Amino acid sequence: MPTTTTPPPTTTLIPPTTTTPVPPTTTTPIPTTTTTPIPTTTTPIPTTTPTPRTTTTIPPSTTPTPPTTTTPMPTTTTPTPPPTTTPTTTEESITTPRTTEKPTTATPVIDTTTTKAPTTTPKPLTTTEATTPMTTTSPTTHESVVTGPTPSFITDSQVSPIPTTTGTPTPPPITCPEWDKVQNETFWLCNCTLARCIENNTIEIIPYECPKPEPITCTNGKKPVLQWDELYCCQHYVCDCVCEGWGDPHYITFDGLFYSFQGNCTYVLMEEMWPRHQFKIYIDNVNCDPTEDVSCPRAIIVSYRSTVITLKNHNLIGAAQLEALIDGVSLRLPFSRHGVKVMSSGINMVLEIAHLQVVVTFGVTGFSVNLPWQHFGNNTQGHCGTCNNNKADDCMLPGGQLVENCALMADYWPAKDQPDCHVAPGIPTNSPLPEPTQKPCKPDSSACDLLKDSIFAACHPFVSPDNFYKGCVYDSCHVSNPAVECTSLQTYAAACAQFGVCIYWRNHTAQCASDCPADKVYKPCGPAEQPTCDDNPDESRMNFTTEGCFCPDGMKLFNKDSEICVDKCGCIDPEGVPREFNERFEYKCQDCVCSESTKTVTCKPKVCSKPPVEICTGPGFVYVNQTDPSDPCCSSLVCRCDSRTCPPTNMNCPIGFVPVVSVPEGKCCPEHTCEPKRVCLHKGVEYQVITNNFVPLC
C-alpha cells in the first residue's frame, strides 16, 4: 500500500483512495454509534443514512466497532479535493480532538456529532471547539461545557450577529434540545450571559455589553437615580416618586405638579393601580382655622399588608403633639416590627418599610412620601398623582379619566369607609374650572420672603422655591395661625436636605424657632434613626435625614427606648442616671456596679463595718440600733438611757421632810433624797409659819 498524503492544516491523515474521486458536493456529516479508533484495523464509513443525536464526549477507550461492510482500499493514490460544505462558526471546547496517525496503515474515521469546516470569522469566547481535516469524511468533535435548564428570559437585544461564509445551501435548522432552543436562537444563560444555539446542543457564549446610561430630567425636580434592569445586568436612570404636602394643604405630586385642596375628609393619598405590594396611604384632612374654610393634614395612615399605622398630630395650632398608633393602639417609639420602623425626632415622625424602600415623614409641617420607581413606577394614583415623570396625567379620577384641575380631582378620592364625606357630583367634564378671583394679598410677616432670600440661596439651583413661596403667601393670607407659614419653609428645607443642602433657617425668624429639650440640640439634617449604644453594626439602618432635636456631637442615645444622651456607653441606673462600665455607686443603701458583660446595673445590700460595742451597765441603760451620722446606710449598737426600764422609786420621807428627785450625772434612773421643810414641828405636827413676825423655833 502506498504512503498516505497528509494536508498540513489537519490532524488526521487522509487514507489513500483509488478509482473514484470524492465529489465536492456530496459531503455529509455521518453520525454513528460510539466508535473508538482501532490501531491496526481499518473502520470504513457505513453507508446507512445518518441519524442526528445529542452531543457526546468520546471516552478514551470503548468497544471496537464490528467490521461490517468493509471494503478494501485500492492502491492508487488520488488527491482529495477540499470540501465545499457550508462552514458554520463553532465555539471553542475543552474537548481534546480524537485523531490517530499511523505511518503505514489507513487512518480510522472517528464518529462525531457534527461536521464543520474552519471559517475566517474571529472566534468569540465560546464553549466548543472543532477539528476539521480537509476531507469529505472529516472527523469533528463538538462538546458543550455549559449545561442546565432552559432559561426563562430570551432576548436578542445588544447581540451582534455571527457572520458566516456562504457556500452550499444550509441544511434545515437543528435544535439544541438541552436548552429547548432552535438554531440561531439567543437566550439568557445565567449571570447576564447571552448564549446562541448553533446546532446539535452546541451553543455560543456572546459577550453582553451594557449601553451607557442616558441622562434624564425628572419633572419633579429631584435627582435621577440609577436602577438595575429586571435581570440585574445593566443600569439606567429613573425618577423616584416623591410627593409632598404642607399647610392648608398644598400638594406637589410625584411628578412635580403643584395644587391646593381644602377638603375636610380622609382621602386616598396614594394607592397602587395594580396591587403588587398591598400598600396604600391615606391622608386625614380637617378644618384648622375658625375664620377661613381651610383644612390641614391631621394624620397620615399607612396600610401595608395586614398592618395599619397612623401618624397623627393632636395639635394643629401650636407645638406638635405627635403620636404613632398601630391598629389604633399607641406606640412607644422607636418601633420596629415585621420590617416596618417608626422613629421620632421630636419635630417629625419617620416611617420606613425597608423591603420596599418606602419612607414616609409626618409632622406639624405636613408630610412627604418617598417611593422607589423600581416598585411603584407607573403604578400609583390618588392625590399624589401618577408616578411616571409626566405631569400631564397627574389629575386622574378613580376610573382613569383625566381632568385638568387637580383640586377638582382630589374630591373624587375619599376613603371607602368615610360615609360623611362630601360626595363629588358625577364625572366632571374636561373643561377646566375658572380660577376663583382672589384679592391681592400681602403676607403678614416676612417669613415667606426668606424662601427667596440668601439664606436658601445654596438650595435654589437644586429646588425651586416658587411653589413653596406660593403656598406660604396663601397660608399667610388665609390662616390666622402665624405658625402655618413656617410649614412652607420647613418643607422647602426638607426638600433641600435631600440634595445634601442643610440650612439652619429657624434662627432667622422668631415665629419658627425650634424648641428642643435642654440636653438636645437642633439639627436641620439629623439621622432619622438616631445612633444608640445598642446599635448592631450588622443590622441595616434607616438611610434618611430629617430635622429635629438630637444628641450633641460626640454623644448618642443610651438605647432605643431612652432619650438620655451619653458620651460613653454603659448602663442606666434605676434613677435614670447614665453610668460607665465597671462604675461602682451606691443606690438606696445598696452597693451597685455597671456590668460590662450584661450592660445592666446589679446591686446587693451594702456591707457596713462593725464598730466596737459600748459596755452598757447600770439601771435604765439599754442597747439601741442607731443610724451612723457619717453613713446613713449603716447603724451600730449604742448604750442609751430608757427611763421606762428604771426600778420604782421610794418617795416616803419622815415628817417635816420632803422627797426630792434628781438624776445624778452619768446615771439613767432618778434618785430621791429627803430634805427638811420650812415648817415648825410640835408634837409630831407640822406648823407652817404664816406671819412675818419671826418666832424662834420652839
Residue 413 and residue 383: Cα distance in Å, rounded?
A: 7
pLDDT digits (tens, 9 = 90+) for 480-498: 777 788 889 989 999 999 8
List Cβ neighbours of 3 (8 Å cut-off, separation of 6 or more): 103, 104
**pLDDT score for 123:** 38
Question: At 174, is the pLDDT very low, low, confident or very high (cuts 50, 70, 90)?
Answer: low
pLDDT digits (tens, 9 = 90+) for 664-694: 888 889 888 888 888 888 887 888 777 665 5
Percent of the chain past pLDDT 90, that is, above it, reads 29
For residue 446, how many other CB atoms are within 10 A of its CB? 12
List Cβ neighbours of 211 (8 Å cut-off, separation of 6 or more): 158, 234
Q: Are 639 and 616 in contact (CB under 8 A)?
A: yes
- Alpha carbon separation from 1 to 12, 16, 106, 138, 523 (Å, rounded): 18, 9, 9, 22, 99
**pLDDT score for 149:** 37
Least confident of 166-180, 506-520, 667-681: 166-180
The residue that leads in pLDDT, 281 or 514, is: 281
pLDDT digits (tens, 9 = 90+) for 43-88: 343 333 333 433 333 333 333 333 333 333 433 333 334 333 333 3
**pLDDT score for 386:** 95
611: cell is 464598730
**pLDDT score for 691:** 62
Residue 227 and residue 209: Cα distance in Å, rounded?
A: 16
pTM of the model: 0.61
Least confident of 1-10, 298-307, 469-478: 1-10
Residue 591 and residue 583: Cα distance in Å, rounded?
A: 11
**pLDDT score for 253:** 96
In the numeric block, the cell 379619566 is attached to 401
Residue 474 and residue 365: Cα distance in Å, rounded?
A: 15
Q: What is the mean pLDDT of residues 171-192?
A: 79
Which neighbouring-strand residues pair with 686?
Answer: 681
Residue 283 and residue 267: Cα distance in Å, rounded?
A: 5
State the first-to-last Cα distance of the chain, in angstroms, to the nearest integer. Answer: 190
Which residue from 299, 209, 198, 205 is spatially nearest to 245, judged by alpha carbons? Answer: 299
Residue 585 and residue 592: Cα distance in Å, rounded?
A: 5
**pLDDT score for 697:** 54
Burial class, 325, CB count within 10 angstroms (exposed 0-12 / middle 13-18 / buried 19+): middle
**pLDDT score for 21:** 39
**pLDDT score for 118:** 37
- Alpha carbon separation from 199 to 113, 181, 182, 604 (Å, rounded): 10, 9, 8, 83
Mean pLDDT of the chain: 74
Which residue from 225, 219, 590 is spatially nearest to 373, judged by alpha carbons? Answer: 225
pLDDT digits (tens, 9 = 90+) for 3-51: 434 444 433 333 333 333 334 433 333 333 333 343 433 334 333 333 3
The residue that leads in pLDDT, 698 or 551, is: 551
